[in-house]
Each structure stands twice: as C-alpha cells, then as structure tokens.
Amino acid sequence: MNSLLLNTDGVQIPQIGFGVWRVPDDEAERSVETALEVGYRHIDTATLYQNEAGVGRAVRASGIPRAKLFVTTKLWNTDHERPEEAFEESLARLGLDYVDLYLIHWPTPARDTYLRAWRGLEKIYRDGRAKAIGVSNFTVETLTRLLDEADIAPSINQIELHPYLQQRELRAFHEANGILTEAWSPLGQGRGLLEDRALRVLSDKHNRTPAQIVLRWHIQLGNVAIPKSVTPSRIKENFGVFDFVLDQEDVAAIGAMNIGKRLGPDPDQFN
C-alpha cells in the first residue's frame, strides 16, 4: 500500500482510505471491520456522519496497533466557534486518545468562522491530539486567506474530485503550497461515471473493473482517495489497485473525461 508524506513532521497518510458517509453506525462498524481485514489502514469519518462510535468500535476491536492506523474525523459547520469542545466530543465517541487527521469540514464563507475554527485546530495539533490538521472543501480563495492568517498551514484539502470534476486549478494550487489533495466521492458516487465508455475501454485493456481504473488514476495523480462501499466484495475490489499501472495514454484518456460536473454542494454557497 502506498503512503504519502503530509507537510507535518513525519506523518504518512495511506493513499487509499475507507469512507463511511451515509453509513449508519452499526453498519459502519461492520464495514470498517471488513476494510481492516482486507488491508485498509485509513478510515475517513466525520461528526456529521453520526458513525464515529461504530468506527471507533471496529478500530479498537481490530487488534491492529493504533500507530499503524490512520483515522480522520471532521469539525461540523455549526461547531466552528467551539472547535476544541467538538473535537473532544469526537474523540470520546471514537474512544481514541488522538486522531491522525482533523479537518474543517466546510469553509462556510457566509458564516466567516473558519479562521476562528482553524485557531482551535492549531491548538489541538500543538497538544498532540491530532497528528495532522487540514481542511475540506476549501477553494483557492478560502485557502489563500487561511494561509495568510494561519500559524500552521493545512496539510491537506479534501475536495470533491473524480474524472468528471478534475479540479486542476485547485490541485496546482495545493502542489505549489505543499498541501496534499484528498479526493472525496473519488468514484463519482458510482452511478454514471463507472458506466462511462472511456472507462470500459480501459477496464477491458487492463482486465480491471472501472472502479479500480479510477482509483489507480487517483493514485498516479498523487491524490489520497477514500472510496466508500458497504459491500464486502467491492470493499476488497477498491483496495486492489496497487499491482497494475496506467500508461500515459490511459491517463490522458481519463484526463479527457473532465466535464466539470459537481455531485455535491458548491463550497462557496454551502453553509
């Protein structure tokens, strides 16, 4: 399994993580158990998902040393003005002493509270309760403002990113500023994208599923990707992307699929 180095001293993030959005608590516990058995070592949850407890149960019961696991959770929009309290509540639900990565879930620019929230994340990081801190759904504009004001730069920005929304400008901005790119909805939520003809061609060429082709593309782009599934066979399939390589032509064919199609909210509008 590949890992990438965050701009935080020595912290490595496994490039493929396991997402649990819209998975109820008990099912999240079972899915995370399966994911850990298959080999995933990185789990992505959030306060919003209401399954931190289930994720924590699976992580703690796994018997895998805590230092070998990477757990992310996120600060919800209504908690920007109480980040430290909200973080402690997340830790308590997870039943963990620290998380590997804590993110501001959305910038919610109309509220104008993300700088206040970031001060809290910096404190949490300095106290060692989060090994790394970052953001999610930030744009070039909100990231620029954050970088201007912050003592500690965010290590990662988790954004909607898949072949239909390739986020080239934002990825270039991340690269120029030492921020890793993490893709949410990396499979474009499955429907539509995975039936695209261009992906079927590559699927036939490599004898891999369209989901595996897309995840391999993320890896070769240098993204972290956090596919979600509750189906054991797919959980396994989505992790089987470390033993083949797309060539330049394949990467160009996926590059040509970019139509700027957003599946989730526009971060400038979302509050």
Helix/strand/coil (H/E/C) assignment for every residue in 5-62: ECCCCCCEEECECEECCCCCHHHHHHHHHHHHHHCCCEEECCHHHCCHHHHHHHHHHC
Q: Binding string to ligand NAD for residues 76 to 105, with x set by CB under 6 A, is what?
A: -----------------------------x
Q: By CB under 6 A, is residue 237 in contact with ligand NAD?
A: yes
**Smallest separation (angstroms) from ligand NAD to the CB of 9:** 25
Q: Smallest distance from the beta carbon of 38 to ligand NAD, in angstroms? A: 12
Residue 223 interacts with ligand NAD (CB under 6 A): yes or no = no
Q: Does the annotation list 218 as a binding residue?
A: no
Q: Does 189 bind ligand NAD (CB under 6 A)?
A: yes
Amino acid at residue number 106? W
Residue 234 is a binding residue for ligand NAD (CB under 6 A): yes
CB 226 within 8 A of CB 20: no
- Tell whether residue 13 is a contact of ligand NAD (CB under 6 A): no
Q: Within 48-167, where are the H helices?
A: 52-61, 83-94, 114-126, 140-149
d(CA 47, CA 173): 28
CA atoms within 13 A on the CB side of 149: 14
- Nearer to ligand NAD among residue 129 and residue 162 (C-beta): 162
Query: How many residues of this chain bind ligand NAD (CB under 6 A)?
Result: 26
By CB under 6 A, residue 108 contacts ligand NAD: no
Crossing angle of helices 52-61 and 25-38, rounded to 10°: 40
Residue ranges that bind ligand NAD, judged by CB under 6 A: 19-21, 44, 105, 136-137, 158, 184-190, 194, 209, 211, 226-229, 234, 237-238, 264
